[in-house]
A and B are shown apart, each in its own frame.
Chain A
């Protein structure tokens, strides 16, 4: 009597437990649902837009805008076309984001380092700052800076004056080089401040709010990064006779950066997105121009596609830059 060496054929599992069948059925079902929903929404969109006479078209972009921007880096006036206005808004957004990134990084790094200070008061102050800022909505902070702080500043001779810098209700004035490379500080001309570097009060309020808010988050990122460096590294550097500052610069920061940069990336992106709150303080950024454009033309779909696309590209740009930077600071292994 010979026993078969092959195991008895197991009974086939029912089809709903078959791992070759089920996944495809699930996907087919989900795909069908998604398709039906999209078809339903798009069908409605086309029908409603046709009824409203607003079928997709980009020709309106070339028509004169008819509105002015209170502030624009790109020269802009009401006779220029809509696309030029949106571009000017984009440039204004980029300006706010650029200044904001630099300011928030500086503030965040200082605060993050302060939380490792040997001074207990400074450490606690940094912690309190972070706790206060993170638990108050950014929009509230922005309107606070604008309406409560900056709009209550005096003008003229009573404005807040620091060496090289003047803060007045009409804006921020900073010293700089004027034509012919001569250094020029803020000065009064007929009761109005003049200076090489002039920022509007709206922009100053937006920038202050964004920097103060994002700085608190960056401080946490920096703190986490420095804390991730083992204590032995500090001790080893100290036993080699390195100064505290040298240790931080040559030993700790290069290691901390590997942890910090991915965290910075997401903070930078959220700063870029948060800059759209500029509309609350009257700074004419991309979102604010888009809103005006939509109200004038009624071209909801086109405006929103442009708006979302612009922010998406901005995010991707920041991500790409930061990923490149991240590649530079990673440990290179053989």
Chain B
């Protein structure tokens, strides 16, 4: 039975007189809030603080003459994204893809202009957007055919491009090996936030899996060691652990060997995230039926083979939503770096607002940050749900 629009509205908004009254109050409140907000955003708000400090918020005090390295990195990332996207989708352009392309084009044209970037910088953003979408189109059209011509052994090596790209990115950011080095204390803003979050995610993953295996192990030493570590970390607020990293790590290492504050914070974030990931993986491991292990063992697979080929693939698939949730909260937790004096996105924003010229522009800056974080986190969540559907073996392909 299909309902007409007025019927549907009545059922949704005013099924009973009380519901109708509640709806009326809510509609008035929402409209008033929206009018108030829009009036502020397009009237009283002064967005100049974002325009003038766009570069600071994006990369912090990264030396201007070295910023071409970051541009190169963004270009490489765009190229890799376009390539992977094209290979994944092929010739098809489903609704999602068309929507994403339109959004990307709109963002590429509007954002640089809204930020008041100089023309050469705007052109760079246009070029990067064009590169992404162009590669998406080209690899969607001819990528599959090209891939088929490759030797299978070469084809299997292709995904290694992503970790390689990550290492290249680190090299471009930090320098060394021929490039002038840029000290971690000069990284800042969104660059530092994303770098810390991605580094901690990557490094904490293997650690978390090991801890989860240890916690479910039959060997008492491994089990109790893992339990102790996980519960200790989970019992402490992150800020106290970061505080510990800044104040005690120096004492724990031989004099003069203590790494830079940025690396110390990265280490703490990694160790912190690993404990929570371990719990996610543990719940995944618990969901693998015992018969799977017994079947694998009776086929003569060794313990590492059983884990790697039978148990972990199933466990990680079950644990995926929780793990992504953990990564999202890790991304949010990087804001705590501002409390120990690092200039991550929030720290940079606070130092911008300490500038007398921008005093009192809290609302504009914090709102921009909130939108940025919201988009990143929501995108991660969407991606995780898509990956979940893709990995779901119970669903017909």
Contact = CB atoms under 8 A, between A and B. Distances in A.
Contacts of A273: 236-238
B176 interface: no
Interface of B: 11-13, 15-16, 19, 22-23, 26-27, 30, 218-222, 225, 232, 235-240, 243-244, 247-248, 250-255, 302, 328, 332-333, 335-336, 338-339, 346, 350, 362-363, 366-367, 369-370, 373-374, 377-378, 381
A277 to B, nearest CB: 7
Given A23-B219, A26-B219, A122-B26, A136 B252 contact: no
Given A41-B253, A119-B19, A277-B239, 19 more contacts: A26-B219, A26-B222, A41-B252, A44-B253, A52-B251, A119-B22, A121-B12, A122-B23, A131-B378, A140-B346, A144-B362, A273-B238, A276-B240, A301-B248, A304-B243, A311-B235, A311-B236, A312-B232, A315-B235
Nearest to A303: B247
A312 B236 contact: yes
Given A119-B22, A119-B23, A121-B27, A136 B15 contact: no
Interface stretch (A27-35, A104-112, A153-161, A225-233): A27-35
B222 A304 contact: no
B142 to A, nearest CB: 38
Q: In terms of DSSP, what is the predominant structure of the interface of chain B? A: helix
A139 B346 contact: yes
A109 to B, nearest CB: 18
A165 interface: no
A262 to B, nearest CB: 13
Given A135-B377, A138-B332, A23 B13 contact: no
21 contacts: A23-B219, A27-B219, A30-B225, A48-B255, A117-B19, A120-B12, A122-B22, A125-B26, A125-B30, A136-B377, A137-B335, A141-B370, A276-B240, A279-B239, A279-B339, A300-B248, A304-B243, A304-B247, A308-B244, A311-B240, A315-B235
Contacts of A291: 243
A134 B376 CA distance: 12
Q: In terms of DSSP, what is the predominant structure of the interface of chain A? A: helix
Contact of B251 (A34, A49, A274): A49
Contact of B374 (A26, A119, A136): A136
Contact of B16 (A31, A118, A140): A118
